[in-house]
Structure 1
């Protein structure tokens, strides 16, 4: 019965949604603040046993979810571009709230996009999400190879050979499928000099940089601190990878055990050709 809801979609350009309520009194500086966070659809998980005892929350609504989203929204408000994984696009379990749109409103983001990767109708809307204070000059939605349910979002900021490409993703658990997905992403960023890859990659930086289709790009993985599980981190599987031409100013794994993953954040210095006057933006929140 569920098979009829898992529809095939073609990759292609999309338009970011606009949040008309976004406002503020500041501007983007010379640095871009990026964050990636697997929010586990707002479920608070603090112990392994919660995967069993709170598993029903993947199907049904719970009052704690709204409070967790408030906490996540407050955390995201400090950043310019955010990649979200395991977000619900509006179904029974989320009280029919599109969590990407809701977090855009809580964090005062002008632009947002929901990538629906597994549509289970009223039961669940498995999605990735994008939040941005900059209007992308290009946004592409890409289903990834392998079993349905994984996707990547390609953003471009600026124009020409100096444009910044940002790819947000949630990769598969299996090594073979993940390798196919990384090969696909490698093709997506072909020709871009400035690249950021961010998301839940379900593997360690060593495999990504040394034993995957990304190995010839010279990418930098500034973050090596474990991000999963959030209550006792042991595995570093959430990453923001940077092309070597980008200057890293700051790296953090945030001590915010709201989900079963910890969020990872970096500040990068924008290339001179991509400074605020060249980018289309709305103000940062107060």
Structure 2
């Protein structure tokens, strides 16, 4: 369900790169929230596994903490959110975080629908009104992985944002990345955000992404596991025409992944298009 747009949407590590600019930046965050389960050690995957099926009394407190973090950002990509089932207390977590984080526009992508038991989803929260939102099911032997395409502006200067959660297997990932490439390769201003289940160097060397010249932080930013990060699995990648001002992983271990944040600068024409869209402070 989309909430309100003209067509479709609803109303610490030290930074590795920091370039001062007089132009306002766009603050991005990608976060796998693991449906609000506080996993802070490997044994919690066993002892707290029941929370993937049943509600927990502290889950609402966890969501409130996440919402306070999200308020600092302009556009947020969420993975492993619940769309409103038994385990979440029938709370649509994307909608809740949009309201609590004061985002006027949000979108929930339902990828695996287990009825009242679980509503596996991705989500997008935005302070800017998008001009287009598309829901894409990613290929794979086991269905349930998806990507959200969000467009800001019109024509060749539009900003294209893809929110995704890739599969674990290398072959399936290659198929999914080839699908993503078809969506983005003709666009000069692109941002990929999400849990990509891949170190950055492996991701950028995949045949599907070669030649796109996508850039990110100039060093690995581990996000997993949150209590002692060793693997860089969550990324924000941008096309070279966008200005990378800062990139960091937040010291925030409320999920089993840490959130990754980035601030970017936009070309003047694109900045003008974005500023011309509504940027409301009220949640519709």
Give the aligned length.
263
Cα distance in 1, alignment partners of residues 193 and 276 from structure 2: 21
Q: Contact conserved, 1:30 with 1:276, CA < 8 A, in 2?
A: no
2:242 & 2:210 partners in 1: Cα distance?
Answer: 17
2:129 pairs, out of 129, 135, 144, with 135
CA distance in 1, matches of 2:106, 2:55: 23
Shift of 1:191: 1.2
Long gaps (5+) in structure 2: 1-6, 12-22
* Aligned 8 A contact 1:204 1:235 in 2: yes
What residue in structure 1 maps to residue 276 of structure 2?
A: 279
User: For 1:227, which of 223, 233, 245 is the aligned residue?
Assistant: 223
Corresponding residue for residue 107 of structure 1: 101
RMSD: 1.5
Match of 1:98 in 2: 92
- Equivalents in 1 of 2:169, 2:60: separation in Å? 32
| Alpha-carbon contact 1:81-1:131 (below 8 Å) kept | yes
User: Counterparts of 1:258 and 1:211 in 2: how far apart (Å)?
Assistant: 31
Following TM superposition, by how much is the alpha carbon of 1:162 offset from its aligned partner in structure 2, in angstroms?
1.2
Q: Is the 8 A contact 1:40 1:259 kept in 2?
A: yes
- Specify which of 126, 147, 150 is matched with residue 152 of structure 1: 147
**Structure 1 unmatched runs, 5+:** 1-13, 19-28
Cα offset, 1:276, TM superposition: 4.9
- Look up the match of 1:26: none
**Of 199, 202, 224, which aligns to 1:204?**
199
Shift of 1:225: 1.4
SS in 1 for 2:58: helix
Selected match of 1:176 from 171, 176, 198: 171
> SS of the counterpart of 1:230?
coil
- SS of match in other structure, 1:63: coil
C-alpha separation between the residues in 1 aligned to 2:267 and 2:46? 47
Of the three residues 43, 50, 61, the one matched with 2:44 is 50
Alpha-carbon distance in 2 for matches of 1:189, 1:284: 30
Q: Deviations over 1:243-277 (max 9, x none)?
A: 11110111111111010000001000021012256
Q: Using the alignment, how far apart are the partners of 2:56 and 2:153 within structure 1?
A: 41
> 1:216–1:127: structure 2 CA closer, same or farther, 3 Å change rule?
same
Cα deviation code 1:105-125 (max 9, x no counterpart): 110000000000000000000
Higher alpha-carbon deviation: 210-219 or 48-57 = 210-219
1:40 maps to: 34
Indicate conservation of the 8 Å contact 1:114/1:128, yes or no.
Answer: yes
1:79 to 73, 81, 85: 73
Whether the aligned pair in 1 keeps the contact of 2:135 and 2:147 (CA below 8 Å) is yes
> C-alpha distance in 2, partners of 1:170/1:56?
23
TM-score with structure 2 length normalisation?
0.90
- 2:247 maps to which residue? 251
